[in-house]
Structure 1
Amino acid sequence: MHDDFRTANLLGAATLALSDVVVAGATRAASTSSSGAAALVVLSTDPGLSVTELGRRVGPSQSAAARMAGSLERQGLVRKEASWGGWVRLRLSDLGKQAAHTLLACRSELLRQTLSHLDDGEREQLGTLLSKLLTGLDRKPGDAEKICRLCDRSACVEGGRSCPVGQRDREHRASRDCDHG
């Protein structure tokens, strides 16, 4: 019998260590906070989000999201655009686009260095296992945005593949729509 407590403990240590490395690298690359770095990545794939929606996807409260957006604007990374009904939309500036690109490249390199300790077969097996773990973590509609807030979305969908978290989120939404339809 396998020692599930040990495996769980190892998973916890590995995820915490990877999180520390990735967040430190991302914040250094973007010269901003971890939520600011996540905001840059989110806005790089979904430009024009409101401060409220950006906060929902990145994690801080509405007031913290507003402060974060203000900070990113003062750094010249985002610009605010007026929209209908008094809403404010956020878009990356050219500097913000470059920061998001640099941040994702840094993140990717750090993670590839971590994977270099595994052979090809082990990396493939790990990819399968991580897909399963991530779909289990995506429990309700909207979780995908938080889970993937620092992801390079193109990496999961190149070659005709589908992001396991995005697929699970679509299934949640379809199920909810059927329940209410």
Structure 2
Amino acid sequence: MHDDFRTANLLGAATLVLSDVVVAETTRAASTSSSGAAALVVLLTDPGLSVTEVGRRVGLSQSAAARMVGGLENQGLVSKEPSWGGWVRLRLSDLGEQAARALLACRGEVLRQALSHLDEGEREQLGTLLSKLLTGLYRQPGDAEKICRLCDRSACVAGGETCPVGQTDRNHRVSDRG
């Protein structure tokens, strides 16, 4: 019989250490906070979002998001563009785009190093299991943006693959309309 408590504990330890290393390295690469790093990636993928929407996607209140965006603006990473009705769209500056790409490259290297301890078959099996786990962790429309806030979106769909979180989000949105 398999010990689910042990597996859960190992998963917890692995996710915590990976999270610690990824956050430390990406914030170093972008010279910003973890929420600032996530905001850079979000804006790289979806330029023109509002402060409130960026905050929602990185898990911040509107006021905390406004402070975070102000910091990114002061660093020259983000600019604000006025839109209709007083709404402000956010865009990455050239420096912000460079920082976002650098932190994604750094994140990717940290994760590839972690996977280097597995052989090719084990990495393939882990990919299948992680897809299943992520699908199970998805709860409601909008979760995809938060789950994938630091993801290199192009890596998830390389070679014609489908992002499991994105597909689950699309499936939920279709079933909610049906």
What range describes the TM-score normalised by the shorter chain of this pair?
A: over 0.9
**Residue in 2 aligned with 1:168?**
168
Instruction: Give 1:36 deviation, angstroms.
Output: 0.1
- Residues 105-126 of structure 1: CA distance to partner in whole angstroms, max 9, x if unpaired? 0000000000000000000000
**Residue in 1 aligned with 2:68?**
68
Provide runs of 4+ in structure 1 moved above 6 Å. none
Residue type of the partner of 2:112?
R
**Residue in 2 aligned with 1:93?**
93
- Residues 82-126 of structure 1: CA distance to partner in whole angstroms, max 9, x if unpaired? 001110000000000000000000000000000000000000000
**Could you tell me the percent identity over the aligned residues?**
84
- Secondary structure of the corresponding residue to residue 169 of structure 2: helix
Normalized against structure 1, the TM-score is what? 0.98
Task: Could you tell me which runs of 5 or more consecutive residues in structure 2 were left unpaired when the two chains were aligned.
Answer: none
Task: Give the CA RMSD over aligned residues.
Answer: 0.5
CA distance in 2, matches of 1:97, 1:141: 27
CA distance in 2, matches of 1:159, 1:117: 23
Task: Could you tell me which runs of 5 or more consecutive residues in structure 1 were left unpaired when the two chains were aligned.
Answer: none
**Residue in 1 aligned with 2:51?**
51
- Residues 19-68 of structure 1: CA distance to partner in whole angstroms, max 9, x if unpaired? 00101011000000000000000000100000011011011111000000
Instruction: Give 1:73 deviation, angstroms.
Output: 0.3
Aligned length: 178
**Residue in 2 aligned with 1:29?**
29
**Residue in 2 aligned with 1:81?**
81
